[in-house]
Structure 1
Amino acid sequence: MSEVRASVECCVCDGMLSWSDQLTIARQYSVSVAYIEAVALERGILPARYQRNRNMLNCRDQLALFSSHIAVVGCGGLGGYIIEELARIGVGHLTVIDPDFFEEHNLNRQILSTPANLGHDKVAVAAHRVAEINPAVTVTPVVKALSRTNGCGLLAGAQVVVDGLDNIDTRLELSEVCESLELPLVHGAIAGWYGHVTSQMPGDKSLDTLYGQKQRPKGIEGSLGNPSFTPSLIASVQVAEVIKILLNHGEPLRHRLFTIDLLDMECIETPL
């Protein structure tokens, strides 16, 4: 609507649109704040919430992120931080997939887990959290376990998939589905003081190389434990990989396994 565009342009200050103006215009014209964000970005106007992004991401980059659709499989230790960071940086559509609900043992490390959320579906809590921190982001919550059977349907429309899972079998199934859909997959795993990340592009089969034919219900986190700090670190590396892939910036961790040892403060890169 030309009236919306004119209203957005009238409110610009230093090339930016404030959240209060974004909200006021949306209410005035009975449209979503996501619509106002799209109008602003398409006209080279930066929503002010992203102003600390602009020394590394220009308005065109921000529009590309807003126009992107990312699927996050697993909304626990890794997935919660991944969802939080993708929403805050301005990725416009998130599909979040997890069959589980929050339990007391999640409270030590999962950012979406609180005593009040115990017993609630993880994806529903994720959707509520995103609505609180960035209402311009669309969230599609899916209370299902991804498998070879339903994976293609669950990941439909996504441009990049992020692995927030905690078992090898499902990760290998996710890898297979991503391969069939020709989707990049950003894999992360944690255990105790350690974690690793790699980005698998179509045709790479990096997870097959990494895990081979190991068929175990859980990874080594079952024996090494899950502290509060490892998930946030590894999730942040995964989010950086997603942004690099979406914007074609830098060099993703393709054919490389980036391992972090927080106990001895070492980073190791291994070819895959």
Structure 2
Amino acid sequence: MTFSEDEIERYARHLVLADVGGPGQQRLKAARVLVVGMGGVGGPAALYLAAAGVGTLGLIDDDTVALSNLQRQIQFDTPDIGAPKVAVSVRRLTALNPHVDVQTFAERLTEDSAASRLAGWDLVIDGTDDFDTRMAVNGACVASGIPLVSGALGAWSGQVGVFEGRPCYRCLVPEVPPDAETCARVGVVGALAGLVGSMAALEAIKRVTGAGQPLTGRLWIHDALAGRSRTVTVTADPTCPVCG
């Protein structure tokens, strides 16, 4: 796989980076990464993946841009209000990097559609804000052997984990919490979305290029109010209905 002169200059800082270099950049160009949810986490993640030169990006979201999104979803502008998120995102990402093939799916991923929609992708980033979709994505990833990068936001906290086989996301969250908090109900500090989305993109880039040690089987947790981060090990649940 060769690079044009434009790509060589565009990815110059990757090409001289010891842990990426030419081979790693070629892996990025060949990669197919699907981002589920183009909100506060998925938006920044997609921007950084496009900038990094991921060859094919898939975007799934059935929502439209709302004024309340703009406090944290920096991939959108005020004139985008009311437009489909995936339609705006494809314009934004191709303007950032025309070498990336962006494929969009204006739909909500469900348990019935997850397996077919995730087929053929090398890696999935889940940035959704509801547990039913997260469970569906996890189940399809485990069944198909696709690495999953999961990013989530709280009011002042964020987390990112990488799941491949066992343990899976369902080992971390066995059931949908009955009192799950939402951004609309408890709020969220906007800049935290960029931090978590960037971290999700970083883990995807590490996994694709083979650089460093991805958070496989681990969960990175950031407390923004305290300015502290920690990483914990996710234990496989022997009774997990997905991977057990």
Does the pair score TM above 0.5?
yes
1:135-160 deviation digits (Å, cap 9, x = unpaired) = 00000000011112111221122100
Q: Which has the larger radius of gyration?
A: 1
3-state SS of paired residue (2:76): coil
Q: For 1:84, which of 47, 50, 56 is the aligned residue? A: 47
1:112-168 deviation digits (Å, cap 9, x = unpaired) = 222111111111111101110100000000001111211122112210000110011
Rounded Cα–Cα distance in structure 2 between residues aligned with 1:212 and 1:259 = 18
Within the alignment, does 1:243 sit opposite 2:190 as a pair? Answer: no
Match of 1:269 in 2: 231
1:226-265 deviation digits (Å, cap 9, x = unpaired) = 2221011011111111111112221111221110011111
CA drift at 1:193? 1.6
Rounded Cα–Cα distance in structure 2 between residues aligned with 1:183 and 1:89 = 21
TM-score by length of 1: 0.80
- Higher relative contact order, chain-length normalized (CA < 8 Å, sep 6+): 2
Aligned residues: 232
Q: Which amino acid aligns with 1:122?
A: K
Q: For 2:222, which of 255, 260, 263 is the aligned residue? A: 260
Match of 2:242 in 1: none
Match of 2:238 in 1: none
Rounded Cα–Cα distance in structure 2 between residues aligned with 1:171 and 1:217 = 16
Rounded Cα–Cα distance in structure 1 between residues aligned with 2:7 and 2:50 = 16
Tell me the C-alpha RMSD between the 2 structures.
1.9
Within the alignment, does 1:54 sit opposite 2:15 as a pair? Answer: yes
Rounded Cα–Cα distance in structure 1 between residues aligned with 2:138 and 2:178 = 16
Q: Which amino acid aligns with 1:196?
A: Q
1:89-122 deviation digits (Å, cap 9, x = unpaired) = 1001001000111011101110122211111111
Judged with a 3 Å threshold, the aligned counterparts in structure 2 of structure 1 residues 218 and 145 are, in CA distance, closer, same or farther, namely farther
Q: Which amino acid aligns with 1:210?
A: L
Q: For 2:26, which of 63, 67, 75 is the aligned residue? A: 63
Judged with a 3 Å threshold, the aligned counterparts in structure 2 of structure 1 residues 45 and 129 are, in CA distance, closer, same or farther, namely closer
Q: For 2:123, which of 148, 160, 172 is the aligned residue? A: 160
3-state SS of paired residue (2:58): strand
Preserved CA contact (<8 Å) 1:168 1:216: no
1:64-107 deviation digits (Å, cap 9, x = unpaired) = 10010000000011111011000001001001000111011101
Q: For 1:188, which of 143, 146, 151 is the aligned residue? A: 151
Rounded Cα–Cα distance in structure 2 between residues aligned with 1:217 and 1:160 = 30
Judged with a 3 Å threshold, the aligned counterparts in structure 2 of structure 1 residues 180 and 82 are, in CA distance, closer, same or farther, namely same
Rounded Cα–Cα distance in structure 1 between residues aligned with 2:166 and 2:219 = 16
Preserved CA contact (<8 Å) 1:81 1:111: yes
Judged with a 3 Å threshold, the aligned counterparts in structure 2 of structure 1 residues 141 and 76 are, in CA distance, closer, same or farther, namely same
Preserved CA contact (<8 Å) 1:70 1:93: yes
Match of 2:37 in 1: 74
* Greater helix proportion: 1
Which has the higher mean CA deviation after the structures are superposed, 250-259 or 214-223? 214-223
Match of 2:113 in 1: 150
Q: For 1:113, which of 54, 70, 76 is the aligned residue? A: 76
3-state SS of paired residue (1:77): coil
Q: Which amino acid aligns with 1:126?
A: S
Rounded Cα–Cα distance in structure 2 between residues aligned with 1:55 and 1:261 = 33
Rounded Cα–Cα distance in structure 2 between residues aligned with 1:239 and 1:125 = 20
